[in-house]
Amino acid sequence: MQAAARKLNREVTTIDEGTVLDVKDGVFTVRVGDFECAARRAKSCLVAPAPGDVVLCSFGPGGRSFVLAVLEGPAGETQPTTKLDVEGDLEISVGAGKLDLRAAKGVSVASGDELNLVGRALSVSALEGSLFVQKLAYLGDRLKAEVEAIKTVGKTRDSFFERVSERVKRSFRTVEDIDQLKANKVDYAAETTLAMRAAHAVVHAEELIKVDGKQIQLG
């Protein structure tokens, strides 16, 4: 290593190719020709070098050595994985135009803390989708959904609306325990038949009970 340090102590900056032998604590051991040197990764080198990679190194005054770029992966590697790795925050800015991310097999986005999407419009298109969120809050003015079928399974549901309007062709509901309705006024209207059946039926009014029809049958 002392001989290597003497070779690298040059007055001018030179560039040469080398092979990464080891990586430890952000320092790369690179073999250049017949000697080994310790080099740091240049800030512009976004691809993380790995052992076996062929890299481009710079050697400057005072023994300063930097890995400038990864030229190719280890010999015999058929499907290399390119990893972009930086220290600190990374910001990608496009002053004019748009940014496209494309992949033939998939795109994954993961964050250990927050994941924010901000834009004037958001569009998601997929044949199948899954959403797993422990707590979800939606704030908006309008929500419109057009689906063929909806199935929900839950333990409790609380809804608070000023007005609810529903229009269905057929409605079926099964309540296993109790079905309770509290309202200021209740109005049921059936065009043909209204049937109510129970083992015990109780109708109670504080002032008036009125039954009106052409025929009234009791019993």
Q: Is residue 62 part of a domain?
A: yes
- pLDDT given at position 81: 78
What stretches in the chain show pLDDT beneath 70?
1-10, 76, 78-79
DSSP 3-state of 6: helix
- pLDDT given at position 7: 55
Cβ atoms of 36 and 1 closer than 8 Å:
yes
Q: What is the tally of structural domains in the chain?
A: 1
> What is the DSSP code (8-state) at residue 7?
H
Q: Is residue 27 part of a domain?
A: yes
What the block records as the tokens of 33 is 């020709």
Q: Is residue 33 part of a domain?
A: yes
84, β-bridge pairs = 47
Q: Is residue 108 part of a domain?
A: no
Q: Is residue 109 part of a domain?
A: no
Give per-residue pLDDT as tens, 182-208.
999 999 999 999 998 999 999 999 999
- pLDDT given at position 186: 92
Q: Is residue 181 part of a domain?
A: no
**Rounded distance between C-alpha atoms, residue 29 and residue 46, angstroms:** 18
What the block records as the tokens of 71 is 């030229």
Cβ atoms of 115 and 109 closer than 8 Å:
yes
- pLDDT given at position 6: 46
Global confidence as pTM: 0.59
Q: Is residue 49 part of a domain?
A: yes
Q: Is residue 31 part of a domain?
A: yes
- pLDDT given at position 10: 52
- pLDDT given at position 181: 92
| Domain ranges, residue 51 | 14-72
Which CATH number belongs to the domain containing residue 56 in this structure?
2.40.50.140
